[in-house]
Chains A and B, each alone.
Chain A
């Protein structure tokens, strides 16, 4: 094993799932981890934790929670330098969302909505690529209509100014 991520205080390994990592030009690795837990009211909550490594993944900063809900994460570094974080949103209005960081993950502009027309919370797992013209293409799963099984849906979009 190359390295481990120190847990955020008060959390357990059982809460951590499905990480994704992107490498910055500096060599820093920015990692995002799905974070799921059951709150005091018995409700399942889903968000994300962020960590970084400056030595190729041998040591990691303690996982820190993001201030917004949604998961699991997919990270992409756009050619403009903006970090793009796409994630499923399993709360009403159900759908797919995006967060941007223009400072290599220090802060995030979150809850930009790719779509919010999901019939229920069985959705997510977005994956995003940058196309040749700099626009973005995201694919994820979601039910296209009530009563259907899940389909693969997508969004074409560009970075907001």
Chain B
């Protein structure tokens, strides 16, 4: 599982670990013009891995896809029924999970004012509450926009 290779690169110590592999690769025929970006990954209390990502765009115009794995990431299947595609989500404790939408998808008509969506699960991610919105005001005058990334913590 662990491969260590030590070398000096401009006097910097470098160590390589792990085994890289492909989860979802680019297929020139199927995916022409597509890209897959910004993955979110979470392991639900029951062990299921949920992977969501943007395809065909960064934030604007992105399509959101979900995949699941029930064998610790060995194999993946499309999981279209996952209600929180493209969201950040956290396992708080035990069976409680919280999903938070990307702010970009809930922009209001007022400049700089967004609604973040929040969904809660009390059964390990099997079912989710309806979307509740949280009003936020953001300064998104960023010099390197990559999307506002809301984060949930159990506070």
B interface, size bucket: 35 or more
Q: Determine the chain A residues whose CB is within 8 A of the CB of B41 once the complex forms.
A: 127-129, 137-139
Determine chain A's interface SS by DSSP, over half rule.
strand
Complex Cα distance, B135 from A113, in Å, reads 39
Complex Cα distance, B13 from A20, in Å, reads 27
A155 interface residue per 8 A CB criterion: yes
In the complex, are the beta carbons of B38 and A160 less than 8 A apart?
A: no
Task: Determine which of A20, A116, A125, A160 lies in contact with B4 in the assembled complex, contact meaning CB atoms within 8 Å.
Answer: A160
Complex Cα distance, B145 from A18, in Å, reads 9
Complex Cα distance, B144 from A132, in Å, reads 36
Complex Cα distance, B137 from A131, in Å, reads 36
Known contacts A113-B14, A115-B20, A153-B23; A131/B39 CB under 8 A: no
A-B contacts, CB under 8 A, total? 161
Distance in angstroms from B136 CB to nearest chain A CB is: 8
B17, B40, B72: residue with the most chain A Cβ atoms closer than 10 Å:
B17
Chain B window 1-31, contacts with chain A (Cβ cutoff 8 Å), 1 for yes, 0 for no: 1101000000011111111111111101001
Complex Cα distance, B40 from A144, in Å, reads 19
Complex Cα distance, B40 from A33, in Å, reads 17
The stretch among B47-55, B79-87, B113-121, B122-130 that forms the contact with chain A is B47-55
Distance in angstroms from A104 CB to nearest chain B CB is: 15
In the complex, are the beta carbons of B141 and A14 less than 8 A apart?
A: yes
In the complex, are the beta carbons of A155 and B149 less than 8 A apart?
A: no
Q: Determine the chain B residues whose CB is within 8 A of the CB of A160 once the complex forms.
A: 2, 4, 15, 17
A21, A29, A152, A154: residue with the most chain B Cβ atoms closer than 10 Å:
A152
CB within 8 Å of B: which of A6-25? 13-15, 17-23
Which residues of A are in contact with B by a Cβ distance under 8 Å? 1, 13-15, 17-23, 29, 31, 34, 36-38, 44, 46, 56-57, 72, 98, 111-117, 125-132, 135-141, 143-144, 148-158, 160
Q: A137-B72, A141-B35, A157-B1 known; 18 other A-B pairs, CB under 8 Å?
A: A18-B148, A44-B144, A98-B17, A113-B15, A114-B17, A115-B20, A127-B39, A131-B43, A135-B1, A136-B18, A144-B26, A149-B26, A152-B22, A152-B36, A153-B23, A154-B21, A156-B1, A160-B2
Which residues of B are in contact with A by a Cβ distance under 8 Å? 1-2, 4, 12-26, 28, 31, 33-43, 47, 49, 51, 53, 72-73, 136-137, 139, 141-149, 151, 153-155
